[in-house]
Structure 1
Amino acid sequence: MGIVASLDIDAQKGFSPLCPNELPVAGGDEIAAALNAQAALASLRAGSKDAHPRNAAWVVTDPAGMLLPLDLPNADLTWPAHCVPGTPGFELLDGLPAPIDYDFFIWKGVEPDLHPYGACFHDLAERRSTGLIEFLLARDVDTVLVGGLATDYCVKTSVLQLRRAGFRVIVHLDACRGIAPETVAQARTQMIEAGAELAQTLTHVQQLLDA
């Protein structure tokens, strides 16, 4: 087996019931222990955060206006303000390392006209790398264990990006939570079709690594 990395995707309070006015994902505040256990199976640990300004072009103040299409190059849907630096929603979940203590860390969506989902690129056209792929390649990583928030958006997109870059990807479902059952089901199908392996439990992740 080659070198294994673990990736915590946007495991932030803004995607949990701790911040009900942002994008609370049911159970989003319950995954820190599963992410830490997943990281214990890996040699390297990477993480990402959404880091959005309040004046972002895609922000809507009324939740009813969420998920409407936008005709912008790098923001495809409207969303409520979330994960604004300096607010509680920007913080990682309690129990996770500080960003500085990861081996590699990404802040994404900092510019007001950018709303990327995946951890590998800053733009929707995937022209501007965050450096994650390059970091993993430089350290001879061949397998990435993935968990985080939310399954149907940022986790899915990151998994598809990593697969296109040639990595083996194991999605640890106990370390993920999703927004809606329908879109989570679609995301699982897309990830499997892309060649990702889905493991519900840490034991299943270990079995796949040992196979």
Structure 2
Amino acid sequence: MKALLIVDVQNDFLPGGALAVNDGDQVIPVINALQDHFDLIVATQDWHPSDHGSFAANHPGRNVGEFIDLNGVQQILWSVHCVQESVGADFHTDLERDKWAAVFQKGTQKTVDSYSGFFDNNRQGDTGLSSFLKKEGATDLFVCGLATDYCVKFTVLDGMSEGFNTYLIADGTKAVNLEVGDYARSIKTMEQHGARIITSKDLIM
């Protein structure tokens, strides 16, 4: 069975949000069009406590973009984003959600970040996404959403490590691009690990 996985299409990652991805809103019509072509659709949602360790604001004297050691993992510091129960953590209102089977929240523990929709960055916390997909009979996983160079990339890599035939829908994702070329490097990394890179046109005939 084919499953569509929508990663973090939330207000804070969209234009005007606290951690906006350039042109991030352009993925919404692509993702909406894709949903009619899948029987199983799930999504991930960044869902941070306000005192999360990845927020620069919680480390006096430190700035966004700096790295710290967070519970044994090198962690880049971000602006405050996707705080639990906030408008910024909500999915964009234009994103169709009627067919979603489940939403998997991540980044809920303040001492560890979670880019992947499957596991936290320490790989000690499991969101339950993999077991859900396997229980539903999913074999092929099609990933889209935000952002290519962080949460999407690590979700794709973990999807493959969990045994799914994993595809990235390239026109259904946008990158943060903290450094020029991050999008292209992320695509290359996913492809080198075995992900297949496609576009929505390959699915919508």
TM-score by length of 2: 0.89
Moved more, 100-109 or 136-145: 100-109
Number of the residue aligned with 1:65: 63
Alignment of 1:1-211 (within 5 A): 3-19=1-17, 22-61=18-57, 65-73=63-71, 76-98=75-97, 102-121=100-119, 123-180=120-177, 181-199=180-198, 201-206=199-204
Q: Report the Cα distance in structure 2 between the residues aligned to 1:89 and 1:149, rounded to whole angstroms.
A: 14
Moved over 4 A (4+): none
Shift of residue 97 of structure 1?
A: 3.8
Shift of residue 125 of structure 1?
A: 2.6
Q: Report the Cα distance in structure 1 between the residues aligned to 2:99 and 2:157, rounded to whole angstroms.
A: 26
AA of the residue aligned to 1:67 = G
Shift of residue 44 of structure 1?
A: 0.4
The superposition leaves residues 48-87 of structure 1 with CA deviations (integer Å, 9 ceiling, x where unpaired) of 110112211221149x922322211267221110011232
AA of the residue aligned to 2:77 = T
SS in structure 1 opposite 2:56? coil
Shift of residue 119 of structure 1?
A: 0.2
| Structure 2 unmatched ranges of 5 or more | none
Asked whether the equivalents of residues 75 and 124 of structure 1 are also in contact (C-alpha less than 8 Å), the reply is no
SS in structure 2 opposite 1:65? coil
Q: Report the Cα distance in structure 1 between the residues aligned to 2:132 and 2:183, rounded to whole angstroms.
A: 28
Q: How many residues align?
A: 199
Asked whether the equivalents of residues 58 and 75 of structure 1 are also in contact (C-alpha less than 8 Å), the reply is no
Shift of residue 206 of structure 1?
A: 5.0
Asked whether the equivalents of residues 34 and 204 of structure 2 are also in contact (C-alpha less than 8 Å), the reply is no
Q: Percent identity?
A: 27
SS in structure 2 opposite 1:103? strand
The superposition leaves residues 16-60 of structure 1 with CA deviations (integer Å, 9 ceiling, x where unpaired) of 1131xx111011122222112222221100001101122112211
How has the CA–CA distance of structure 1 residues 145 and 52 changed in structure 2, closer, same or farther, with 3 Å as cutoff? same
Moved more, 37-46 or 183-192: 37-46
Shift of residue 101 of structure 1?
A: 5.7
| Structure 1 unmatched ranges of 5 or more | none
Q: Report the Cα distance in structure 2 between the residues aligned to 1:101 and 1:206, rounded to whole angstroms.
A: 17
Asked whether the equivalents of residues 5 and 143 of structure 2 are also in contact (C-alpha less than 8 Å), the reply is yes
Aligned CA RMSD, in angstroms, stands at: 2.0
SS in structure 2 opposite 1:187? helix
TM-score by length of 1: 0.87
Asked whether the equivalents of residues 30 and 172 of structure 2 are also in contact (C-alpha less than 8 Å), the reply is yes
